[in-house]
Amino acid sequence: MKGVILAGGKGTRLKDLTLVTNKHLLPVYDKPMIFYPLKTMLDAGIKDIMVVIDPQSAGDFLILIGSGAKYGANISYRVQDEIQGLGIAAALRLAEGFCCGDKLAVVLGDNVFEDSFKETVGWFEKQERGACVFLKKVPDPERFGVAELKGDSVVSIEEKPKSPKSDFAVTGFYLYDENVFEIIRALKPSARGELEITDVNNAYLKSGSLKARVLEGFWSDAGTFDSLHNASTFLRQKKA
């Protein structure tokens, strides 16, 4: 099982903090943001990890994380240039050679999770095919991809809908089989000009191979000033 951490992008929602550094190097309470998705991967038992980064901050990531030896992991890097496309799916596409046909776990570099994914990763490794997304009830679902549920099953996913069909956000941790790269190659840019991860998940949903799990613990992205503050506050209180 391979792991991919997506930590590129411009972080425009955190401007001016991101004028001189990558968003994922900003502090969330007492650690750099990137340490939290890295810990999520390591705690799930995934030790072969690629981090997708932006060219301007490549040296900073290397200094901060290094080869992964200090974590008992093997960490490699892939630089994402603007010409290689925008959107989460475009960034994930860069990891195809790294994954070499293996199943993969993907985490967004600005996501902070309390839950452990180790049990679900172990289950997914035994599956022949498919994908799995992780859902969390949120007060502002319009900021995210939103899953509509029927019982325990996902029946639709909409990206940042103006009128959400539920309050279940699709969080930034995903499990995919090797077919994810074929799906990405067939995507068309959205109205935002991006290759959307929601379109990837909907492709699995259409084929009947998308599973979903609901998270019980804290989850937040840290990509806005409010969510960065909320994540820092939670972590501070947890350590108190």
Residue 35 and residue 63 in contact, taking contact as beta carbons nearer than 8 Å = no
> What is the rounded distance in angstroms from the CA atom of residue 179 to the CA atom of residue 55?
28
- Look over the chain and give the mean of its residue pLDDT values, rounded to a whole number: 94
More confident residue, 194 or 3: 3
Q: What is the pLDDT of residue 187?
A: 95
Average pLDDT, integer, range 170-186:
97
pLDDT for 83 beyond 70: no
> What is the rounded distance in angstroms from the CA atom of residue 158 to the CA atom of residue 170?
10
pLDDT in tens, 91-118: 999 999 999 999 999 999 999 999 999 9
More confident residue, 157 or 151: 157
pLDDT for 228 beyond 90: yes
Of 108, 103, 116, the residue nearest 176 (C-alpha): 103
Of the chain, the end-to-end C-alpha distance in Å amounts to: 35
Domain layout of the chain by residue ranges: 2-239
Joined tokens for residue 156: 């639709």
pLDDT in tens, 114-140: 999 999 999 999 999 999 999 999 999
- Extract the runs of DSSP E, i.e. beta strands, from the chain: 2-7, 27-28, 31-32, 48-53, 74-79, 104-108, 111-113, 131-137, 145-150, 153-159, 168-176, 210-214, 219-221
With cut-offs at 50, 70 and 90, classify the pLDDT of residue 206: very high
Homologous superfamily (CATH) for 2-239: Spore Coat Polysaccharide Biosynthesis Protein SpsA; Chain A (3.90.550.10)
Helix (H, G, I), strand (E, B) or coil at 226: helix
What whole-number percentage of the chain has pLDDT above 70? 99
Average pLDDT, integer, range 167-192:
96
Q: What is the pLDDT of residue 96?
A: 96
Residue 13 and residue 19 in contact, taking contact as beta carbons nearer than 8 Å = no
pLDDT for 2 beyond 90: yes
Of 43, 50, 53, 46, the residue nearest 23 (C-alpha): 53
